[in-house]
Structure 1
Amino acid sequence: MLLQALEALLLVSALSLDALVASFSFGVEKIKVPWLSALFMSGICSAFLAVSLLLGSVVKPYVSPHLAAVLSFLILLILGITRLLDSAIKTCIKKSCTKTKDIKFKLLDLHFMLRIYADSTEADVNHSKSLSVGEASSLAVALSLDGFATGFGAGLTNANPVEMILFSFIIGLIAIRIGCAVGRRVASSADLNLSWAGGAILILLAFTKLF
């Protein structure tokens, strides 16, 4: 039970690093993230995780324990490797997206989500220096993509969904507030990228599925 809780905590912490880095960027740029926007961000990320856990648990009865472990391993390993390469991926997206200078805000616009994936401060579309609920929601969707795949893999195993969702919401909210606070204190053009750390944790968790 304790080991399962620790694994869930590590998994959610790895997924929350993106929210931490994004919030750090907002703090550096002196963009405020009101409590309501932070709650929406954490809530949407947790909702994506909840849906993916549910899907994984629905598929689980039709998959053998061995195959479930292998699938969970592969999902976590691929996501971990992707995060290790995240810096290069974001650089490519930035170069591609800068070709289009005019951006119109749409809640689920793919081009917009790619922009904020590469540079979180792009979420403040109206340059109000305050992240609205709508802007926070689009950012949360972009940040939730990894969590959706990871949650599906976790749902195939013996993960406790209630525990993971609760951890996700609380840790996500804490990550947002800490990121903003630290970013405001730094208040420089520092470029913090912790994607590699999240990737390393996911790869570590992947190999635990083989034992």
Structure 2
Amino acid sequence: METLIIILSLVVDSFVTCIGYSAMNIKIPLKYIFIINIISILILSTSIFSGNYIESFLPSYITKTFSFLIFFIIGIYKLFEGIFKKFFSKFLNREKPLTIKIFDFKFAFQVYIDEIKADFDKSKQISLKESIYLALALSLDSFAVGLGISFLKINSYLFIMLCFVFGVVSFVLGSFIGKKFINKSNIDLSWLAGICLLLVAFMKL
């Protein structure tokens, strides 16, 4: 049960982002959906296996405490993420044209605050470079959550595989719903991920 709850918390942002993209007629080609999810899985896997290595040196009561704190802190943040993003968005110059470099921190931050910014060339279709930035923006939570997962008694390989499958499905389903039923792009369900992570945190007490 907790495995599915954690997966839901990780894919909800992708789902909502794709709804917003489709509502604005921005297309993410299927090959880039796979690339985005591969990057996300690589980040998540790095975090999980790093945590597994760290866990081997620590007593169980410490890893249990770390796991609770990680899920609790990220859960609280996700509950109020919409508010934080609105606050930071006030400091972004929305009129200035965006440029993209090999790694542009400002652009990456803008994509994190507003995922629609990933379509920086206004082409209405996400390119390879844009998909990489979008993947990084959507994977910020995954690294921290991955550490928390590594301290749980969960099959890491099965979890990673399920995250990839659910991730791809969330993109496809979100795109379909956005295209057929939604006519606005400012939907915020980050609080749902927060509730999921807080639920997992208190389940481990």
1:110 aligns with 2:105: yes
Residue 190 of structure 1, CA deviation: 4.7
Matched residue, 1:38? 33
Give CA-to-partner distance per residue, 1:167-190, whole Å, 9 cap, x none.
110001000111111111235235
Could you tell me how far apart the structure 2 residues matched to 1:23 and 1:10 are?
Answer: 20
Sequence identity, in percent? 30
Which amino acid in the other structure matches residue 25 of structure 1? G
- Structure 1: how far apart are the matches of 2:20 and 2:88? 17
Distance 1:34 1:165, change over 3 A: same
Identify the residue that residue 19 of structure 1 maps to in structure 2: 14
Aligned counterpart in structure 2 of residue 73 of structure 1, from 53, 68, 71: 68
Q: Taking structure 2 as the reference length, what is the TM-score of the superposition?
A: 0.95
Match of 1:3 in 2: none
Match in the other structure for 1:186: 181
In 1, the alpha carbon distance for the partners of 2:33 and 2:158 equals: 20
RMSD: 1.4
Specify every segment of 5 or more residues in structure 1 that has no aligned partner in the other structure, as ranges. Answer: 1-5
Instruction: Tell me by how many angstroms 1:102 deviates.
Output: 2.7
Q: Please list the CA deviations of residues 80-111 of structure 1 after superposition, one character each: whole Å capped at 9, or x if unmatched.
A: 00001101111012111126723111353221
- Runs of 4+ with deviation above 4 angstroms: none
1:120 to 107, 110, 115: 115
Q: How many residues align?
A: 205
Amino acid at match of 1:174: V
Task: Find the counterpart in structure 1 of residue 2 from structure 2.
Answer: 7
The within-5 A match list for 1:194-209 is 194-209=189-204
- Of residues 139, 147, 152, the one that matches 1:152 is 147
**Alpha-carbon offset, residue 157 of structure 1:** 2.4
Cα 1:101–1:198 change in 2 (3 A) is same
TM-score by length of 1: 0.93
**Residues in 1 aligned to 2:137 and 2:185: alpha-carbon distance in whole angstroms:** 22
Taking a change above 3 Å as real, the CA distance of residues 87 and 54 of structure 1, as seen in their structure-2 partners, is same
Structure 2 unaligned blocks of 5 or more: none
SS in 2 for 1:97: coil
Partner of 1:93: 88
